[in-house]
A and B are shown apart, each in its own frame.
Chain A
Amino acid sequence: MMGNQACAEGVIAAGCGFAAGYPITPASEVFNALAKQLPMAGGTLLQTEDEISAICAAIGASWAGLKSFTVTSGPGISLMQENIGLAVATETPLVIVDVQRLGPSTGVPAIGVAGDMVQVARGSHGDYQIIAICPESPQEMFDMTVHAFNLAEEYRVPVFVMAEGFVGHMRERVVIPDESQIKLINRKITQGGEPLTRRDFLDPDVAPMPVFGRGFKAHVTSSCHDEYGMRNLHDPDVMHRYIMMPIQKILSKRDRIVEVEADYEGARLVLISYGSVSRSSRQAAAMARAAGLKVGTLRLKTAWPFPDKEVRAAAESADSVLVLENNTGQMYPYIKAESAHACKIDFLGPQVLGQIHDPQYILAKIREIMK
């Protein structure tokens, strides 16, 4: 099954109630599949006039009480940025799949480059935290899409699935478990009471959501607001909490959110990667070990919140770290900040941008570093 189709299967398995999207390569297959399948599964789908409308409609539907979804690629993410901030500020559960492509600008639509790794976390104005996870296979396009809905619902936050064109268009065997085997999380909903007696927002332990249509008289605003959702543009303490509480909501739970795959025991060099590059990374490490080189791997399944502790632990256990990314080094500065005190650190992009890292090419770099 194609990765993008597996993603669509994940959207349905997660119980998505509303999907909005706009055609874009290399993400279109996800929405195309949903157009056919989602209505049959009881959901609603809307092809919007642009990506701005897609994310806004998805946020609106989330407030209407539905699990909501949109899918796009880099140019679409660029258009969505302002309202990604709104979703963060209003603590709206939302899943955004980004099947990344080669940029900047129109670039090369069909070529996968992990070009949006930083823009999804830092692209909207202001300070905030989102969650972003990185599938490396069609199977994970399914698994991580379901997981993304669970994270979004649990933490009331936009969650990004950072696929790229390679994973989206890759065809592999995908196992879709029986419905009973898929664990789903649904958002907590306000029990009732007047808005000023509830705390609908700014709870680091995630406030129950006063979804619309049930008489909660929810006040939801993209402006700075207090715990009751009421706009407040004059109290510095409220402004502080308006920024800090949604950040703490994610960072205080980072140990439960962050996932990595660590395989570097006894290694002198650790390869750090995420997404499709992790496949080449594992292969290169296996080849290096076969040649007697002590090489391990750390795969960041979660990109944001940034796995700082996990990267630090790897760096402190080894003599050097080699960062492999399918771009010019978007996560590299963050990894370097957690590693440079402990070991030597290098970066290796693909031979030619837009190509998959050849394991032999990685091995040559390993040999050069470990010489």
Chain B
Amino acid sequence: METALISPAKAWVLGFIPTMFFSIIIPIIGVVCFTYIIAKRTAPLVRSKPDPRLNSVPERLANMFKFAFGQYRQPRYMMAGVLHIVLFAGFMILSLRSITLVILGLKDGFILPGLGGAAGQVYSVLKDIAATAVFLACVVGMVRRGVFRPERYDVPKKYGKDHTSEAVFVLMLITTLVTCDMIFEGTQAAAQMQKGLHPEFLLPGMGAWMAAGILSGANLSVLQNLHLGSFFLHNLVFFFFLCFLPLGKHFHVITSIPNVFLMKLKKGTIKPVQWGVDEAKLDELKSFGVKKFEDFTWKHMLDFYSCADCGRCSDQCPANAVKRPLSPRFISIKCRDYAFKNYPIRGEMTPKDEHLIGSILSEDEIWSCTTCGACEAECPIFIEYIDKIVDLRRGMVDEGLVPQSLQKPLKALEKRGNPWGKMEKKRAEWTKTLPETCDVKLFENGDEARTLYFVDSITSYDDRMQNIARSTAILLSAAGEDFGILGKDEKDSGNEIRRFGEEMLFQDIKSHNTDAILGTGVTKIITADPHAFNTLKNEYTGLPPVEHISQTITRSIRDGKIRLKPVEDETKVYTYHDPCYLGRHNGIYEDPRQALDAIPGLKRVDMLKSRDRSFCCGGGGLMLFYEPEEEQRMGVMRVKMASQAGANVIVTACPFCLVNMEDAIKVAGLEGKMEAVDLCELIEMHLQTM
């Protein structure tokens, strides 16, 4: 067959070097370099802590298809998300084309198996579209990053240099790749037309078609040179790009699909101190938590490599929003840079026996996290933060680096089982002010009941929050639950003890509570505190099923056990604030809303940030005692959001949220204009006595 231009597999340069030489040497050098770089990048992972991630393969595959290939979380940021989807889909489609091009340099007329005939024609059109779309997405991306510079990508001075140039450079590489292919095909088509041969079909309007049009008047030697030049430039850039990826944030192109496959599956839990070490054998461990870099698990290191620097985590992080010294994005970036520095591509590896706290991370940075999980709910590739933060805290606790503000409540928890150091015998005092019609059984007195109401510390002891306990008891009575409380035998659930890194105290308290609960013989546990709910449900073992009161309420309404009367004040507009440990960590978004909507005449609006984008109130448990550096309180920002949504009543379903909201209303000067109430209190107020 006569060809319009000499193909890359058959051409010569300077009359004596076959271009085939480049077709062989470029891929060889590229693959060797790439293999070497990847080997270097795996060096720290080999020295890391274990992390079993190969269980539940079907679930992992499903997640991978949904979140990696399906790009499910990308459109949460619409503009960036759509651009990314275009680039990603383009990459997927064009990867076949790129492989074809590499082999075309060796074997003339090569076609990938399965892409002959009609399938090939379809693919050809598809990749024309993909290449053009990628080209456009890159241009839009460059303009966006280079000209409009969204704030999300800013790098504050303390975190180092701006990352824009790397981003734009990579977009230029991609643009070059697709442009080369367009010219490669365009020159071929132009030459074919000039020689009167039937040109290959190019989809009108696409890049290759345009290249053919522009180049249709060029003479044959120019076309020939462009044809070969674009071909080899493509191959050169292709392999350069491959080797460039693992050097920076574009490592995610390689690591993020496995990273999604390897994601944490069990929400609401904290990883064990060390995988493979039984809770009973923790005493045998020489060190706790993450102190030096190699104390991270290999998966957590893979997270650092995978971070695409998109800044969504920090954009959602409430600690970052109130200017606490924490930005989850830079935890990843700093740790990645640290790994790159200590495990360089060239030169000797220099793993350091130094503490990360005090070198690249600071104590306040790590204590600033409320473990609300907003960052993890947002990350498109499921990078974990909470487990890392808790592991770092475990390391600090082990070294005695605990702020004074937290030492007192921790000691009180150890001595008295509650962070205020209140007397154990006063844990059930709130029951004394209950109406006579509501009888709360006390297991400590030998009473028997089918259901345990786990009250937890703040609701047991705090004057204001005791009202939640009373409302809960009244609701449980109304719903016909046969329930009791542990009284002095109940200790703090320990959700925050664990999350603040005091694992051994958590283990002690967990085993005490487990014994106390199992001793009652109850068949169900109900709590109105999402923090207790989370840890009892997800971290205690061997307990009867655990339910949050919002679930009990909704079921009781549905079953007709509870009937509600209409709202009295029609000027009130309610908004529901999703507590982190009910919503994000346990996926309970609808029950509380249904309970509210069951009150006749209640007007409810959702805040812009709600459900899995809910904005943390400031944190519960031990976070109430921590004195962070911050410009304002999270709660103040939150009540302002409620105000913007047009609400004048914030309904929460967590005692800590209520503390923070009520304080924030005062601080924000919104007293009289805004109020906060717990779901239990509100439902109890509207209880229709039968």
Q: Does B associate with A?
A: no
Q: Give the B-binding residues of A (Cβ under 8 A).
A: none
